[in-house]
Amino acid sequence: MVATYSRPTPIFTKAQGVHLYDLENRKYIDFTAGIAVTALGHSDAEFLRILNDQSRTLIHTSNLYHNPWTGSLSKLLVEKTKESGGMHDASRAFICNSGSEANEAALKFARKVGKIVGAQKNNLNKYEVVSFHNSFHGRTMGSLSATPNPKYQEPFSPLVPGFSYGNLNDQKALDLITENTCGVIIEPIQGEGGIHTATSEFLVSLRKKCNEVSAVLIYDEIQCGMGRTGKLWAHSYHPKEAHPDILTTAKALGNGFPVGATIVTEEVSSKIVVGDHGTTFGGNPLASRLGHYVLGRLSDPALLSHVNEMSKVFKGKLKQMQKRWPGVFVEIRGKGLILGVQLDRDPTALVKAARERGLLVITAGKNTVRLVPALVIEEKVVEEGLKILEDAVEAWLAQGVET
Ligand code: PLP
């Protein structure tokens, strides 16, 4: 394997629900859900039944031909998005295999729109893109160019030209959006960057500025979407005046099976023609049928209200821990089950201490512990996991270990 990852020692061999098991059959509570992916938990029975059934029926045909599921998934994405109070003029979807690809499609679509609109406006060079510090949009050249983290970008420079970066929730960022801008891409809640939420006010002003210069507004809900906040989309909490032209999703859409989607308005879609974009695997019947099932489950109001209930349990307990260690627990952030605990020091040793006690958590941003468990997690397991976290914090602080 190319050494792109540093992995701890456990080798995971199986999983059930919100638990993972290693080679020695040690059981771990999984508060990572494969980085906000396995929202229905591991080995969901109906997911497995569909996987089996569709594998025997039809896995792949390529996009040369129609199949029953790519269209069905696209239609359901549009319907559920509108039903959730999000993106009111969602119209069509492009189905792909991952988050980076969903964003790559979004950026290409924005470029195409910019080309057409620019030509109508005295041949304006309308190709620039604005994104935000602490964002993460992926590792392909386009999505990486929108991800202003020197650690990820510098080894691969020069990047795609025309990208500039503002600060989240800072009105000064609006100045970066000009007549030359074709698109603005933003996570309504930044995941990798440390669980930072864009305000309604900021998103409304981005929308307004995008309208003024005819730029496309793209919401990357790859991590914060699919029910994770207690609504189908994080932006479903915001008014219509903050809705995007393009919405990207992946991660939880396949509950572990690779699938992503780029949802667009009719206005955007009308500018994309045959041959503009494509993918061999994207939208294959197996991934699409699984996505269709997962989306149905994750948009269920009962499940979404469960997410909000579990969020209260998490926040209540985390706030108790903050009272116990006020200097160390700086802030509890997030919504639903995308939560960040801002610590005053490097949590690497804490993550290890938790893992050694049977709990998996991940970090984000700067000194943030990120909690993104399965959305079906039950209260008993949340409490059990948080008890392990508390024990781990105790041991971590007693050691006085900072790294
Ligand atoms: N966008 C966001 C917000 C993400 O969190 C991620 C992955 O962490 C991506 C894009 C990239 O997705 P993928 O790793 O599936 O390419």
Between the CA of 138 and the centroid of ligand 1 the distance, in Å, is 5
Top mutation candidate among 137, 190, 219, 246 for ligand 1, by most atoms within 8 Å of CB: 137
The 3-state DSSP class for residue 165 equals strand
Q: Is 233 in the pocket of ligand 1 (CB under 6 A)?
A: no
pLDDT score of 12 more than 90: yes
pLDDT score of 206 more than 70: yes
Alpha-carbon distance 192 to 195, whole Å? 7
- Predicted confidence at residue 4, as pLDDT, reads 94
- Predicted confidence at residue 165, as pLDDT, reads 98
Residue nearest to atom 15 of ligand 1 (CA): 99
Between the CA of 222 and the centroid of ligand 1 the distance, in Å, is 6
Find the distance separating the first CA and the last CA of the chain, reported in whole Å: 27
Q: Is 187 in the pocket of ligand 1 (CB under 6 A)?
A: yes
Tokens for 273?
């023609």
Q: Is 250 in the pocket of ligand 1 (CB under 6 A)?
A: yes
Q: Is 103 in the pocket of ligand 1 (CB under 6 A)?
A: yes
CB 351 within 8 A of CB 362: yes
Q: Is 254 in the pocket of ligand 1 (CB under 6 A)?
A: no
Share of the chain above pLDDT 90, in %: 99
DSSP string spanning 330-385? EEEEEETTEEEEEESS--HHHHHHHHHTTEE-EEETTTEEEE---TT--HHHHHHH
Q: What is the mean pLDDT of residues 339-361?
A: 98
Between the CA of 220 and the centroid of ligand 1 the distance, in Å, is 9
Q: What is the mean pLDDT of residues 86-98?
A: 98
CB 195 within 8 A of CB 264: no
Domains of the chain: 12-30+301-398 (3.90.1150.10), 49-298 (3.40.640.10)
pLDDT score of 402 more than 50: no
Of 124, 65, 119, 72, nearest to 95 (Cα)? Answer: 72
Per-residue confidence band for 403, with pLDDT thresholds at 50, 70 and 90: very low
The 3-state DSSP class for residue 57 equals helix
pLDDT score of 316 more than 70: yes
Taking residue 223's Cβ as centre, other Cβ atoms within 10 Å add up to 28
The 3-state DSSP class for residue 160 equals coil
Per-residue confidence band for 359, with pLDDT thresholds at 50, 70 and 90: very high
Between the CA of 36 and the centroid of ligand 1 the distance, in Å, is 10
Q: What is the mean pLDDT of residues 68-97?
A: 98
Q: Is 37 in the pocket of ligand 1 (CB under 6 A)?
A: no
Alpha-carbon distance 20 to 98, whole Å? 23
Alpha carbon distances (Å) from 322 to 1, 332, 343, 393, 398: 40, 8, 10, 11, 16
Residue nearest to atom 10 of ligand 1 (CA): 137
Closest ligand 1 atom, CA of 191?
A: 5
- Predicted confidence at residue 294, as pLDDT, reads 99
pLDDT score of 30 more than 70: yes
DSSP string spanning 195-242? SEEPPHHHHHHHHHHHHHHT-EEEEE-TTT-TTTTSSSSGGGGS-GGG
Q: What is the mean pLDDT of residues 262-267?
A: 98
Closest ligand 1 atom, CA of 260?
A: 15
- Predicted confidence at residue 401, as pLDDT, reads 52
Q: Is 268 in the pocket of ligand 1 (CB under 6 A)?
A: no
Tokens 């206005």 — which residue?
267
For residue range 274-288, list pLDDT tens digits in order. Answer: 999 999 999 999 999
Least confident of 213-222, 376-385, 391-400: 391-400
Of 80, 76, 49, 340, nearest to 197 (Cα)? Answer: 340
Between the CA of 253 and the centroid of ligand 1 the distance, in Å, is 12
Closest ligand 1 atom, CA of 192?
A: 5
Alpha-carbon distance 293 to 240, whole Å? 27
- Predicted confidence at residue 400, as pLDDT, reads 66
Quote the mean pLDDT of the chain. 97
- Predicted confidence at residue 110, as pLDDT, reads 98
- Predicted confidence at residue 399, as pLDDT, reads 83
